[in-house]
Amino acid sequence: MSNPKKKLLIYANYYAPDVASTGQIIQDMAEGMTDKFDVTVICTVPSYMGTIEEKYKEKRFYREEINGVKVLRVPVPEFTKSSKESRIKNFIAYFFGARKATKEVGPQDYIFAISQPPIMGGMLGVYGKKKLKSKLIYCIQDFNPEQIIATGYVKAGILLKAAMWIDKRSCWKSDLVITVGRDLVETLRWRFAKNNVPRYMIINNWIDEKKIYPLSADNPGVVEFREKFGLRDKFVIMYSGNIGLYYDLEGIIKVIEKFRNVKTTDGRDVTFAFVGSGSMLNKLMMYVKEYGMDNTVFIPYQDKDKLIFSLNAADVHWCVNAKGIKGVSCPSKFYGILGVGKPVLGVLEKGSEVEMLIEEINCGRVSEPGDYEKIAEDVQWFIENAGSNELARMGKRGHEYLVNHLTKDASVGKYIKAIQEL
């Protein structure tokens, strides 16, 4: 008789069908582990865009099963991404709802928590470890409160000190801390002054190369996307993902303004496309309207099955972070860019994980956040080289690197091995 699978409980604020990047990563990981573990996810009802369907407003919990993963959803209030208060209420509701849901799942061998919501993800992991007498793996996708400090989102000093103590405690209590980049490891070591650093390892994020891959420009799905959003025969420089606080998009939109009525050397109009939503979207849209920027379009989030077409519709992709985010967060959109084999227009601090990867792979050009003159020079370089072999080679090098080093199966396999060795 074979041994029963060990049980793994995952705390994830967002999970399928929500389009949050961390939710998609957790879904890939959870589904990729079902051969080895009996996996349960505690998450919110679908709510990433702030609104909630009526069918998720009636019960205390909602039980589902998605591709072999047990999903236990907790209700949360609707929110507006531009409102701090409503987002905080949403996070708190998930935190306490997830604690209650923990009592519903029974004994577990392992707890897996991610660093979302800020601070609370780690706290849930510690709670689950104690309550269920399990081993804890804490995956830090974003360091907080460091991320909050870097963006100035909250300025209350005492609260931030308390938050730092809480999240350091979550690291201390973990049996293993996993970060997603070399610069994040340095932040972990700095937190503990390089003394008594918790056990840790790096596992890069990924894209599912079987679902996101290069398509030709005449692919029907790509053609349809370009036609639908006015991108036909344009040279498209795309930003795809969360249009939020951590990317200095207010500064970048001012750079984009300088490229109105610009054509490439092969005669195409240059268009900047923003695909997604977030707390900064309205500000960007108002700026574009105020300055009459007909070189910029805004496109809603695409369903997961349409993502391959939207990503392939670009000629170049932005991959950006604001100043101060080095060692704090790693933009997972980078892996999708490599997935479709497009060159990268990076705005990233020197020594950050993705900046180092772009330089090592030679798959794009990178400037420092805030160096708007250099950012504009890089945009101009891509425009002048539109349709060139060099851009094609950049994209090809990025895709080859992903296939050889950053596949879903490779990274999920590392997670499985790390957990089994605890």
Q: Which sequence spans correspond to the domains of the chain?
A: 6-206+407-420, 220-405
pLDDT of residue 81: 74
> What does the alpha-carbon distance between residue 172 and residue 198 come to, in Å, rounded to a whole number?
6
Strands (E), 194-256: 200-202, 234-240
pTM strictly above 0.75: yes
The CATH superfamily holding the domain 6-206+407-420 is Glycogen Phosphorylase B; (3.40.50.2000)
Residue 246 φ/ψ, nearest 5 degrees: -95, 20
114: which strand partners?
139
pLDDT of residue 155: 63
Q: Which amino acid is at 309?
A: F
> What does the alpha-carbon distance between residue 119 and residue 144 come to, in Å, rounded to a whole number?
6
pLDDT of residue 303: 87
In the chain, the largest separation of any two C-alpha atoms, in whole Å, equals: 71
What is the full per-residue pLDDT of the chain (422 aa) written as tens digits? 456 899 999 999 999 998 888 888 999 999 999 999 999 999 999 998 889 999 998 899 999 999 999 999 999 998 887 787 888 899 999 999 999 999 999 999 999 999 999 999 999 999 999 999 999 999 999 999 988 887 766 666 788 889 999 999 999 999 999 999 999 999 999 999 877 899 999 999 999 999 999 999 999 999 999 999 999 999 999 999 999 877 899 999 999 999 999 999 889 999 999 999 988 999 999 999 999 999 999 999 998 889 999 999 999 999 999 898 999 999 999 999 999 999 999 999 999 999 999 999 999 999 999 999 999 999 999 999 999 999 999 999 999 999 999 999 999 999 999 999 99
Q: In what order do the strands lie in the sheet with 110-114?
A: 62-66, 69-74, 37-44, 6-11, 110-114, 135-140, 176-179, 200-202
Helix axes 84-102, 120-132, angle to 10 degrees: 10
> What does the alpha-carbon distance between residue 412 and residue 244 come to, in Å, rounded to a whole number?
28
Tell the residue number behind the tokens 């879903």, with chain if given.
Answer: 408
Q: Which amino acid is at 13?
A: N
Other C-beta atoms within 10 Å of 360: how many?
9
Mapped onto helix, strand or coil, the DSSP state of residue 36 is coil
* Gyration radius of the chain's alpha carbons: 21
Q: What class does CATH assign to 220-405?
A: alpha beta
pLDDT of residue 156: 61
Q: Are strands 316-320 and 296-299 parallel, antiparallel or unpaired?
A: unpaired
Tokens of 95: 């935190």
pLDDT of residue 164: 93
